[in-house]
Amino acid sequence: MPLRLTANISFMFTEQPFLERFGAAAKAGFGAVECHWPYEFPVETLQAAISAAGVKLTGLNMPVGDKAAGDFGLAAVAGREAEFRTAFDLAVRYATALGCPMIHVLAGNVADDQHGGAIGTYIANLRHAAAIAEKQKLTLLIEPINRRDAPNYFLSTLEEAVAVAATLSSPAVKIMADLYHLQIMGGDLVTRLADCVDLIGHVQVAGVPARAEPDQGEVNLRFVLDALVAAGYAGLVGAEYRPRGRTEDGLGWIATSGLTLG
Ligand SMILES: O=C(O)C(=O)[C@@H](O)CO
Ligand SMILES: [Mg+2]
């Protein structure tokens, strides 16, 4: 079975206002989309846009806290557990109302000398969220983000994510394997991903280092995706890149990717 591609409409189709991107993705052939933070719109408005476009929303991010003040997630940030729970509840409300099965739980920025303490906060917050997600049949994604783009982000390597997911041992907690971040943080994608394939809940793709269409750069996407399938991965693949030009003009890479759209 070929893997199915989703369009991340927070990076793609940004030529259109947000609500019009569902329709733009559908017109380009996508049957599924994911996004980052849809919270500026009421749930009913999003439901209408998604249903009019005839697409499925497969993933969204939980709120990150005060982005203007430097927040990029709350899960590993000590002292903000109440805020984490409120933000998580909002994400669950949106996800369930929109029929969206996956929520990305962002860890947040933590100073290097605070990492030792932050792991306890991270595990406790994820445990709380996982219990809710298990009941609601949602999947929580944790994503290692590379340290070049996000130097203070708490979760930066695949191996750390594996250790966290293994500690939690919840069917609701999976890793979002974004090949862009993972290539920057050590590469060796085929072997490292195969070693933890059972813990991978979602894959995202972009070219490296440009973070544009994955048809250029240092990763042979087809080779890596074929290896993931051979290792047993059968989930979705999100196109999370910044198009070099107009989004629609840059979709040619899909034809040779082995991915399916519909
Ligand atoms: O930046 C990424 O990579 C993501 O997947 C986002 O969800 C976080 O900004
Ligand atoms: Mg990503």
Q: Mutate which of 35, 240, 241 to test ligand 1's pocket (most atoms within 8 Å of Cβ)?
A: 240
Determine whether the shortest distance from the Cβ of 242 to ligand 1 is under 6 A: no
Q: Which two tokens stand for residue 76?
A: 């590993």
Could you tell me the pTM of the whole model?
0.97
pLDDT at 246: 98
The answer for 176, left when phi > 0, alpha when psi is -120 to 50, beta otherwise, is: beta
Determine whether the shortest distance from the Cβ of 240 to ligand 1 is under 6 A: yes
Tell me if 68 sits within 8 A of 93, measured CB to CB.
no
pLDDT at 106: 98
Q: Which atom of ligand 1 is nearest to the CA of 238?
A: 5
Q: How far is the CA of 184 from the centre of ligand 2 (A)?
A: 13
Tell me if 165 sits within 8 A of 157, measured CB to CB.
no
Q: Distance between CA atoms of 168 and 164, rounded to whole angstroms?
A: 6
Task: Considering only the C-alpha atoms of the chain, give the largest distance between any 2 of them, rounded to a whole number of Å.
Answer: 49
Q: How far is the CA of 178 from the centre of ligand 1 (A)?
A: 8
Tell me if 170 sits within 8 A of 125, measured CB to CB.
no
Q: How far is the CA of 204 from the centre of ligand 1 (A)?
A: 9
Determine whether the shortest distance from the Cβ of 213 to ligand 1 is under 6 A: no
Domains identified in the chain and CATH numbers: 9-180 (3.20.20.150)
Determine whether the shortest distance from the Cβ of 178 to ligand 1 is under 6 A: yes
Q: How far is the CA of 146 from the centre of ligand 2 (A)?
A: 10
Q: Which atom of ligand 1 is nearest to the CA of 8?
A: 5
What is the per-residue DSSP string for 83-113?
A: HHHHHHHHHHHHHHHTT--EEE--B-B--GG
- Catalytically active residues are 143, 240
Write out the chain's pLDDT in tens, 262 residues: 799 999 999 999 999 999 999 999 999 999 999 999 999 999 999 999 999 999 999 999 999 999 999 999 999 999 999 999 999 999 999 999 999 999 999 999 999 999 888 999 999 999 999 999 999 999 999 999 999 999 999 999 999 999 999 999 999 999 999 999 999 999 999 999 999 999 999 999 999 999 999 999 999 999 999 999 999 999 999 999 999 999 999 999 999 999 999 7
pLDDT at 262: 79
pLDDT at 209: 98
Give buried/exposed letters for 21-42 (b at 16+ CB in 10 A, else e): bbbbbbeeebbbbbbbbbbeee
Determine whether the shortest distance from the Cβ of 104 to ligand 1 is under 6 A: yes
Q: Which atom of ligand 1 is nearest to the CA of 180?
A: 3
What are the DSSP E strand ranges found in 28-172? 32-34, 56-61, 102-104, 139-142
